[in-house]
């Protein structure tokens, strides 16, 4: 019996995870990638975080998603012969009593994920920040970290190229082979695909990478911005959220917001930072903060894997396995992510 075949349109993080998932399940996979300015994946921070910092509650389906994510990327590390996962606790300075009470209450409810009185600031080199910020206590988020998205995407691209499965071109209807499935994973560039994917609510994010000698290398920090250690005195900070300006590059306004956040984060240490590199991308967020996973209204054997926003690292492996099972007629999609929740829509096709 011939293997089922699929074309994955878009090799950002979501499309790559899905393509690799299907391939491991025995599908014959071809991947079309047409990179354009403004794509989110090339500038993605790759953070995973089991907790919503604003509400201090676990994220959607976090227990099963985290387990699936770690299993998936650990298997990818073994298969591709590279390390992509960087486990780093996430810490937040607690600066006033009301915030402290909020953390203590959340930590009592979710002890697996949260500690409201973390004592590792000295070992992490955070004592100078403690004094500058007037920290009452430190909140800790366990089981957080970041994925080397750029390294992972490149390793998968090279593997697919060596197998003759990679097509560096825009996919059109003429490329669809009879009985082959097609999955739209183009991120924000699916936004023009008729009424259906116009439900996407893109958000532009800008971030900055820089060199900071003797910075806090063993933890990620969250104030208004995140501070992410990349290794070798290199750091990343961000990100901004913009719902109206979708220009592909960094902006003066975005740079100003990042600078203000860095002043708050680093204080006097900012004077020692150098080699600043500003980046920007447009996140494919959904209208209801749940990914779009399921059947595409454009025809038989057409599917959607999109709308992950900033949660692709954490959610894509779990939902890729669920979509793969649905494509094989062996599983039921989660109703909160299933594209059926959008109702019937017309579509103009995948070509743009």
User: How many structural domains is the chain composed of?
Assistant: 2
Give the chain's residues under pLDDT 50: 346-352
pTM value surpassing 0.85: yes
pLDDT digits (tens, 9 = 90+) for 40-50: 888 899 999 99
Bridge-based pairing of strands 274-283 and 234-238 is unpaired
Same domain, yes or no, for 190 and 292? yes
Q: Are 102 and 96 in contact (CB under 8 A)?
A: no
Of the candidates 264, 242, 314, the one whose C-alpha atom is nearest the C-alpha of residue 133 is 264
Asked if residue 114 belongs to a domain, the reply is: no
Asked if residue 172 belongs to a domain, the reply is: yes
3-class SS of residue 281: strand
For residue 189, the model assigns a pLDDT of 80
For residue 231, the model assigns a pLDDT of 94
- From 251, 267, 283, the end of a domain falls on 283
Domain encompassing residue 295:
5-46+149-199+288-342
For residue 349, the model assigns a pLDDT of 43
Same domain, yes or no, for 166 and 224? no
Q: Are 200 and 287 in contact (CB under 8 A)?
A: yes
Residue 218 maps to which CATH number? 3.30.9.10
């Amino acid at each position: 019996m011939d293997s089922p075949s699929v074309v994955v349109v878009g090799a950002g993080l979501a499309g790559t995870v899905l393509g690799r998932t299907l391939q491991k399940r025995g599908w014959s996979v071809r991947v079309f990638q047409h990179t354009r300015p403004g794509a989110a994946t090339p500038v993605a921070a790759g953070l995973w975080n089991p907790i919503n910092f604003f509400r201090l509650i676990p994220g959607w389906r976090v227990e099963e998603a985290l387990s699936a994510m770690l299993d998936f990327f650990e298997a990818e590390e073994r298969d591709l012969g590279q390390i992509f996962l960087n486990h780093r606790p996430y810490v937040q300075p607690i600066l006033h009593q009301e915030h402290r009470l909020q953390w203590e209450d959340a930590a009592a409810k979710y002890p697996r994920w949260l500690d409201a009185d973390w004592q590792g600031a000295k070992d992490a080199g955070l004592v100078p920040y403690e004094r500058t910020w007037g920290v009452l206590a430190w909140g800790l988020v366990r089981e957080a970290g970041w994925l080397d998205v750029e390294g992972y995407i490149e390793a998968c691209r090279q593997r697919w190229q060596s197998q003759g499965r990679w097509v560096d071109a825009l996919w059109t209807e003429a490329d669809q082979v009879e009985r082959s499935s097609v999955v739209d994973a183009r991120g924000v560039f699916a936004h023009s695909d008729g009424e259906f994917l116009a439900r996407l609510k893109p958000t532009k994010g800008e971030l900055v990478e820089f060199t900071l000698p003797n910075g806090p290398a063993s933890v990620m920090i969250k104030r208004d911005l995140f501070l992410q250690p990349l290794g070798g005195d290199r750091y990343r900070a961000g990100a901004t959220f913009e719902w109206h300006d979708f220009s592909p590059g960094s902006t003066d306004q975005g740079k100003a917001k990042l600078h203000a956040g860095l002043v708050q984060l680093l204080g006097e240490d900012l004077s020692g930072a150098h080699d600043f590199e500003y980046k920007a991308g447009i996140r494919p967020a959904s209208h209801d903060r749940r990914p779009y996973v399921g059947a595409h209204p454009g025809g038989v054997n057409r599917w959607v894997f999109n709308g992950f926003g900033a949660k692709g690292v954490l959610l894509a492996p779990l939902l890729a396995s669920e979509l793969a099972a649905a494509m094989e007629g062996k599983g039921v999609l989660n109703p909160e992510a299933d594209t059926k929740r959008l109702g019937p829509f017309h579509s103009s096709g995948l070509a743009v």
